[in-house]
Amino acid sequence: MNRYYRFVTNLAQLVKRAGHYSTEGIISSPRPKPPLNAPRALIFSPHPDDECLVGGLPLRLLRQARWNVLNVAVTLGSKRQRRAARLRELKKACTHLGFELIVAGGSGLENVSLTTRREHPTRWAKSVKTIEDILQRTCPRVIFIPHNQDGHETHIGTHHLVMDALNRMPASFECCVVETEFWRQMATPNLLAETSTNNLADLVTALSCHVGEVKRNPYHLRLPAQMMDTVRRAEIVGEVRTASPDFMFATIYRLQTWKRRRLVNVLKRGKFLSSKENPDLLVA
C-alpha cells in the first residue's frame, strides 16, 4: 500500500474531527505579566482575528523575551450588528494569548481604506491622529502592520494609516516596523520566524475564539497548513536554492527600522529565526 494515501487520509480525518471541537470549556491559564519596564510591541490588526493570524513572532516576543505585546484593534469589522460580539470574541482571544488590547478610538475606526484617504481627508486625518496618540502613549519598540499590497482594502488602509501616523511622530522617534501578510503574499520578505507546536496550538485556540468567523469558514483549522506552506517559501527569504530550514511551522515577515521618518533596511540578507533563538536580539 502507498503510505502517502494513509498520510493524506489521516490528515483529512484529523482536520474533519477538529471541526467538531468547541470553544466551550477552554480555560486560559493565567499568563505571567511582563516586567513593568518591558519593551512594547504593537500589532495593528485591521480586523479581530488578525492578532492570531500574524501572531507567531509577537507571541515569541511575549514568551521568550518577556515583552509586553499589545494588540491594537484598528476596526471591529464592517458589520455593525456583529461588532459587540466580535469585541467579546477578541477579548477572549487576547486573554488566551496574553496580549493586552487597545480598541482604536474606543469602538474601532470606520472606513479604513485608500478611498477614504483620497476622498475624505478630514475623516482620514482624524483616524491618523487616533493612531498617532496610541504611538505617543505606548512608545513601542516594534510595530506589526500589514504590507501595502495585502489584498484587502482594510489591510492596505491600515498599512497607510499607521505609516501616516509615523510621519506625524517626532523626527527622533524610532522603532522596528514588521510587515505582515495574509490576503496576499509579500514579494520581498526578509524574515522567516519559526513557530513552535505549543505556540501554534495556542494561536489556533485563540483563533477559534472568533466563533462567528470560524463558523462560516473554519480557517483556524487551516492555520497549521498555512504555516507549513510558509516554510516551503523559505527560498524567497534566503537565496534561491538555499536549503530549507528544519522548521515544521513558520510565519513570514519583512523587518525594517523606522528612523528619521523613513524605513531603513536592517537585514543584509534574509534571516531564518529558529524557535531556539531569542527574538529580541533581532529587534534590539
pLDDT in tens, 117-152: 999 999 999 999 999 999 999 999 999 999 999 999
pLDDT at residue 78 in the model: 87
**Where are the domains positioned within the chain?**
35-281
Stretch among 32-36, 68-72, 110-114, 196-200 having the lowest mean pLDDT: 32-36
Are 271 and 210 within 8 A, CB to CB? Answer: no
pLDDT at residue 36 in the model: 86
DSSP reduced 3-state for 96 = helix
| Reported confidence tier of residue 240, pLDDT bands at 50, 70, 90 | low
**Class at the top of the CATH hierarchy for domain 35-281:** alpha beta
Q: C-alpha angle with apex 40: 39 to 41, nearest 5 degrees?
A: 130
Phi, psi of 77 (to 5 degrees): 95, 165
Region 97-110: what's the mean pLDDT?
A: 96
Stretch among 190-204, 216-230, 238-252 having the lowest mean pLDDT: 238-252
CA 131, CA 164: separation in Å to the nearest integer? 9
Q: What is the pLDDT of residues 8-25, one digit of tens each?
A: 999 999 999 999 887 776
Q: Which long-range contacts (CB under 8 A, 24 or more apart) does 11-19 make?
A: 15/221, 15/222, 18/221, 19/218, 19/221
Q: DSSP alpha helices (H): ranges in the chain?
A: 3-18, 50-53, 56-63, 83-97, 114-119, 121-138, 153-168, 197-208, 211-216, 223-232, 234-237
Are 204 and 282 within 8 A, CB to CB? Answer: no
